[in-house]
């Protein structure tokens, strides 16, 4: 089934869905055409009776068609001067910003986060497109001296060709943008599989790129299940590289497939991010830092704070302040409709994730933990609203301390001193972000040097990163090869060539 951009605005019949939304039906985008029967419903996690989006279920044949389109379109796109490619990305960024309100509202409906967070994410996606678009005017090679007479050496960066992108639901427009933009400015064509739970946000990105003048076939979207669409992307020999953000288990499985055919692979996976709070810190400021990292974004970020180690002198004051901060993160409908105020924290993304959060807290309490605030036995009739939870009195090897929960849950444990706290932060199979709250420059400097994580935060929440800096982890959080974001992101999507020229 073929549809135009105008057709995308059609609203399906549903008793509890508003009919004045600009876009509600997501479709595949293959070779410039909107395709696929919208046979999958996505429900608003904050209002389980409300339809958020309809989307198609992609097949291996859809992936094949998308890769064929990308393969055909890529040479002409790579031949287009980089400033011209950049102009299209910058125009798409402008379009996203002009559509920010509508896109953010759709993002809230399908993912559950607050409107403020959604607006910030759309702004981030716009900024990412503009940042990488501006790099169309940047130099990408070097001129190097040669030991030979009358010889010039230059280096070039060449596009990989066609790349696959698999993106998660927690940042459903920002992550597709920060993977797509460096791929496109480098001259690659793209086939992206957005998360099943959030197809509409990626559709908004695709529509902005198309409306900005991106040639047909350069950017293709195939919705569907990871085991079908993602697997087909990974196995197709025409995909020269695949960038994935998601769980460690799935990522390592994809790595095996890509390595077997010697294709390039970039993985950003799980996190269990630790923060060390020392006696010399300001307890209230530290609590605000931890709460923002743990409960902001409903804790649904790979960089979220999930375990905290505190030294004895500040423990009681810090815990009291943290409980007070947690109480302010009241979950609710991110759009604040029916006369209610906008929620301080959004809904959990799905029933499955909601029940996973409940099970994690319930299990910790059954094993002897103290639940200082939060709950684990609430219903779902009013939405997947999970209060911020603070756990304490846990052993260091408890599952709530070692395993990723991906919800607004933080465990607080006591350590005797700085060295023990640093060792505890490093005692994890993950290494994405780590933080320290201290007024000591010596401790902060030492922590930055010795903490085993790709991103270190001093007196700042573990979640959140500027778009112009490298992002990635170590251990089971990443392949620890190519970094995302900033100019470093270009490295994954290009390969180097050295050219000798004699006269």
Active site residues: 302
Reference 50, options 98, 11, 97, 8; nearest CA is 11
d(CA 5, CA 429): 45
Alpha-carbon distance of 54 to 60, in angstroms, equals 20
Q: Return the half-sphere exposure (C-beta side, CA atoms, 13 A cut-off) of residue 14.
A: 19
DSSP code of 287? H
User: H or E element: which one contains 441?
Assistant: helix 441-450
Strands 40-43 and 51-55: antiparallel
Q: What is the signed CA dihedral for 260, 261, 265, 271, rounded to 10 degrees?
A: -20
Residue with tokens 């409306």: 211
Long-range interactions of 350-355: CB distance < 8 A, separation 24+: 350/45, 350/197, 350/384, 351/380, 351/384, 353/300, 353/384, 353/406, 353/407, 354/45, 354/380, 354/384, 354/386
Reading the block at residue 69, the tokens are 């389109």
Distance (Å, rounded) from C-alpha 403 to C-alpha 417? 24
Is-contact 474 431, C-beta < 8 A? yes
Backbone angles phi, psi at 495, to 5 degrees: -130, 150
In angstroms, the CA 309 to CA 453 distance is: 16
User: How many Cβ atoms from other residues are within 10 Å of residue 313's Cβ?
Assistant: 13
Phi, then psi, of 270 in degrees rounded to 5: -80, 175
> Contact 225/250 with Cβ under 8 angstroms?
no
Contact predicate 191/162, CB 8 Å: yes
Interstrand relation of 433-437 and 455-458 (parallel, antiparallel or unpaired): parallel
């Amino acid at each position: 089934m073929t549809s135009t951009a105008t057709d995308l605005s059609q609203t399906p019949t549903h008793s509890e869905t508003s009919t004045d939304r600009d876009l509600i039906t997501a479709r595949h985008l293959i070779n410039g055409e909107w395709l696929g029967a919208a046979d999958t419903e996505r429900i608003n996690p904050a209002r389980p009776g409300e339809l958020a989006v309809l989307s198609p279920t992609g097949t291996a044949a859809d992936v094949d068609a998308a890769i064929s389109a990308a393969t055909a379109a890529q040479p002409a796109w790579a031949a287009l001067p980089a400033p011209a490619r950049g102009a299209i990305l910058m125009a798409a960024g402008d379009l996203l910003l002009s559509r920010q309100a509508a896109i953010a509202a759709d993002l809230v409906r399908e993912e559950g986060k607050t409107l403020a967070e959604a607006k910030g994410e759309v702004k981030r996606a716009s900024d990412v497109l503009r940042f990488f678009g501006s790099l169309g005017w940047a130099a990408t090679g070097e001129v190097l001296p040669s030991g030979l007479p009358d010889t010039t050496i230059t280096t070039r960066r060449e596009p990989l060709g066609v790349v696959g992108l698999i993106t998660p639901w927690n940042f459903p427009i920002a992550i597709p943008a920060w993977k797509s933009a460096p791929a496109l400015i480098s001259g690659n064509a793209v086939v992206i599989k957005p998360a099943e739970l959030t197809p509409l946000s990626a559709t908004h990105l695709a529509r902005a790129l198309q409306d900005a003048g991106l040639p047909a076939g350069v950017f293709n979207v195939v919705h569907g299940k990871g085991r079908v669409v993602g697997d087909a992307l990974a196995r197709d020999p025409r995909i020269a590289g695949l960038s994935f953000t998601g769980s460690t288990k799935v990522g390592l499985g994809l790595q095996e497939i890509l390595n077997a055919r010697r294709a390039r692979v970039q993985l950003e996976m799980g996190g269990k991010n630790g923060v060390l709070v020392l006696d010399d810190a300001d307890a209230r400021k530290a609590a605000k830092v931890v709460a923002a990292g743990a409960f902001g974004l409903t804790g649904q970020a790979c960089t979220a704070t999930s375990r905290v180690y505190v030294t004895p002198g500040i423990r009681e004051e810090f815990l009291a302040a943290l409980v007070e901060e947690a109480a302010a993160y009241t979950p609710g409908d991110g759009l604040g409709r029916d006369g209610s105020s906008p929620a301080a924290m959004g809904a959990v993304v799905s029933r499955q994730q909601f029940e996973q959060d409940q099970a994690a807290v319930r299990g910790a309490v059954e094993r002897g933990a103290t639940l200082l605030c939060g709950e684990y036995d609430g219903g779902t009739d009013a939405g997947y609203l999970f209060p911020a939870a603070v756990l304490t009195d846990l052993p260091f090897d408890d599952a709530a301390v070692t395993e990723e929960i991906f919800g607004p849950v933080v465990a607080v444990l006591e350590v005797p001193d700085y060295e023990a706290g640093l060792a505890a932060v490093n005692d994890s199979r993950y290494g994405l972000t780590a933080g320290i709250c201290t007024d000591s420059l010596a401790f902060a400097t030492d922590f930055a040097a010795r903490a085993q994580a790709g991103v270190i935060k001093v007196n700042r929440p573990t979640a959140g990163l500027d778009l112009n800096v490298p992002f990635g982890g170590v251990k089971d959080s990443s392949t620890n090869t190519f970094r995302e974001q900033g100019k470093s992101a270009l490295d994954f999507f290009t390969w180097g060539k050295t050219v000798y020229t004699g006269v």
